[in-house]
Chain A
Amino acid sequence: DAGITQSPRHKVTETGTPVTLRCHQTENHRYMYWYRQDPGHGLRLIHYSYGVKDTDKGEVSDGYSVSRSKTEDFLLTLESATSSQTSVYFCATRTSGGFGETQYFGPGTRLLVL
């Protein structure tokens, strides 16, 4: 268990409102990731970070932004939530980006956009 917490764990919001999800880790891992999980699509990478203030886009980044001002925290923001962003969101961390290092996952956040 890599000490990853996500907040909130459940959220219901309305279309057009901004939403921020938080991922917090206690392991001092360099890499952090945000995925969304949808039936039939598996896990798809939204954004990831390879250090404080260093982020990059994943395969489904449109409509999402991220920030990492501290090693332990990685925030995912939906600028203006849409119903297509209803999903389960997982945060993951990794010690480094080389040699097949294991990713460790948080418990997930269920987001419903009405």
Chain B
Amino acid sequence: AQSVTQLGSHVSVSEGALVLLRCNYSSSVPPYLFWYVQYPNQGLQLLLKYTTGATLVKGINGFEAEFKKSETSFHLTKPSAHMSDAAEYFCAVSDRDRDDKIIFGKGTRLHILP
């Protein structure tokens, strides 16, 4: 069965510093991969996703993620953190052979320090 692990339930970075949120998946076949963001008291919205093609995926608000098959990873990065990036981030996967369900990680809350 598909699973996804996010390392670190809380991550703190200074404003202007690099943001790195880690995500690893377990699957014998590379799945579809997603990053979602949740701002306080809101639903989730898609940041970016990898389905096929280029392994470096660019998303909204300056975020990007790189699919690395050899490391079974899909880490999320942003070169320079902004206060507005404070939110909870969820990595998610779905099976290419049965794509009707998306499995979410437990989330990483990103704190931005002034």
Contacts and interface: CB of A to CB of B under 8 A. Distances in A.
Interface residues of A, number: 26
A50 B90 CA distance: 23
Interface of B: 9, 32, 34, 36, 41-46, 49-51, 90, 94, 98-107
A104 to B, nearest CB: 8
B43 A107 contact: yes
B44 A42 contact: no
Interface of A: 4, 31, 35, 40-45, 48, 50, 56, 58, 90, 92, 97-103, 105-108
Contacts of B99: 97-101
A106 B44 CA distance: 8
B100 A50 contact: yes
Contacts of B34: 100, 102
Contacts, number: 58
Given A43-B104, A45-B101, A48-B100, A100 B51 contact: yes
B49 to A, nearest CB: 6
A4 B99 CA distance: 21
Given A42-B90, A43-B90, A97-B99, A102 B104 contact: no
Contacts of A4: 43
B102 A106 contact: no
Contacts of B105: 42
Given A40-B9, A107-B42, A102 B49 contact: yes
The winner among B34, B49, B107 for most chain A CB atoms within 10 A is: B107
B101 A58 contact: yes
Contacts of B90: 42-43
Contact of A99 (B9, B42, B51): B51
A96 B51 CA distance: 14
Nearest to A101: B99
